[in-house]
């Protein structure tokens, strides 16, 4: 298969799944195996296209990110306080991820472990949706330090490839009192710093696997991922005003056994 076609397919998969509660890492692992696109170079390609998805959220929530740099007195989630809240959310997974990164890549980056993570995460989503919740928080400006830290602790679940960072943080936010839509929006915003840090770390360690002759392929994947992520986030936020997370859980349960059989 032509490299450009692979770039488009992987870009679409990354962009559509990065911020949905279905696990982008899991889908990239599975797609990569199906396309025969594996190895160190493929891993670095996935890092680059992930930056495209991150950039989509930065552009979509640019006013919020701008307020972190230039504090807005009308917004509680801005300036030093907003940065502090993001720091609390990113801290647990960053520390645990750095400590276990090599072990995770050695033992958990394969279709079998992804399938189990998809299933376990799906059951967790269904359980959370059945639990009574207070829904005390409805806006980013209502987020407290304890809520931010709690979401960060839940985010550690996403270190298991296939569980989904988005699913972990959204479920954590909902359990801690955030409305479903707020939990999703904070999941998007909080993803940016930790994903930038993770991709930067991976690029620093594996940049030598990037071949200068593949810049066009990387660029195609990056751009496709950007627009696919934009479409996915916009649609997801719109859907959350009408549906729960259960359809995503049923989707995960449907594909998990198929992966194990395949």
What confidence tens digit (pLDDT) does each residue in 57-102 have? 999 999 999 999 999 999 999 999 999 999 999 999 999 988 888 8
Return the pLDDT at 37: 81
Alpha carbon distance 262, 252 (integer Å): 15
Return the pLDDT at 249: 97
CA distances from 223 to 53, 226, 232, 249 (A): 9, 5, 14, 29
**What would the mean pLDDT of 179-207 be, rounded to a whole number?**
84
**What would the mean pLDDT of 167-189 be, rounded to a whole number?**
96
Q: Are 7 and 221 in contact (CB under 8 A)?
A: yes
Q: How many residues does the chain have?
A: 262
To the nearest whole number, what is the mean pLDDT of the chain?
89
Return the pLDDT at 213: 58
Q: Among 39-43, 46-50, 91-95, 216-220, which range has the highest average pLDDT?
A: 91-95
Residue 212 has pLDDT above 80, yes or no: no
Categorize the per-residue pLDDT at 105 as very low, low, confident or very high, splitting at 50, 70 and 90.
Answer: confident
Number of Cβ within 10 Å of residue 150's Cβ equals 21
Residue 42 has pLDDT above 90, yes or no: no
Q: Please report, rounded to a whole number, the percentage of residues in the chain having pLDDT higher than 90.
A: 61
215 versus 106: which is more confidently predicted? Answer: 106
Return the pLDDT at 235: 94
Number of domains in the chain: 1
Residue 262 has pLDDT above 80, yes or no: no
Q: What are the two backbone dihedrals, phi and then psi, of residue 223, each rounded to the nearest 5 degrees?
A: -65, -45
Residue span of the structural domain in which 158 resides: 3-261
Return the pLDDT at 215: 72
Residues 6 or more apart whose CB falls under 8 angstroms from that of 31 comprise: 9, 10, 13, 37
Q: Which two tokens stand for residue 193?
A: 């710093």
**What would the mean pLDDT of 237-259 be, rounded to a whole number?**
91
Buried b (16+ CB within 10 A) or exposed e, 35-50: eebeeeebbbbbbbbb
Return the pLDDT at 189: 95
- State the sign of the Cα–Cα–Cα–Cα dihedral 170, 175, 181, 183: negative
Alpha carbon distance 212, 149 (integer Å): 41
């Amino acid at each position: 298969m032509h490299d450009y076609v692979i770039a488009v397919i992987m870009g679409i998969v990354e962009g559509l799944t990065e911020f949905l509660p279905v696990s982008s890492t899991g889908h990239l692992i599975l797609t990569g195996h199906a396309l025969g696109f594996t190895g160190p170079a493929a891993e670095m390609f996935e890092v680059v296209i992930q930056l495209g998805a991150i950039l989509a959220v930065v552009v979509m929530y640019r006013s919020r990110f701008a307020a972190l740099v230039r504090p807005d007195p009308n917004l509680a989630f801005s300036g030093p306080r907003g940065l502090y809240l993001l720091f609390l959310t990113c801290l647990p997974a960053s520390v645990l991820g750095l400590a276990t990164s090599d072990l995770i890549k050695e033992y958990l980056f394969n279709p079998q472990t992804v399938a189990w993570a998809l299933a376990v995460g799906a059951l967790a989503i269904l359980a959370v949706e059945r639990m009574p919740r207070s829904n005390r928080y409805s806006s980013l400006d209502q987020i407290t330090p304890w809520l931010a830290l709690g979401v960060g602790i839940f985010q550690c679940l996403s270190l298991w490839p296939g569980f989904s960072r988005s699913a972990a943080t959204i479920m954590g936010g909902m359990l801690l009192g955030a409305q479903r839509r707020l939990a999703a929006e904070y999941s998007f915003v909080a993803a940016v710093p930790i994903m930038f840090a993770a991709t930067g770390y991976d690029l620093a360690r594996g940049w030598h696997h990037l071949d200068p002759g593949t810049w066009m392929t990387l660029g195609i994947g990056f751009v496709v991922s950007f627009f696919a992520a934009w479409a996915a986030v916009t649609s997801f936020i719109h859907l959350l005003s009408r549906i729960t997370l259960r359809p995503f859980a049923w989707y995960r349960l449907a594909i998990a056994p198929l992966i194990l059989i395949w």
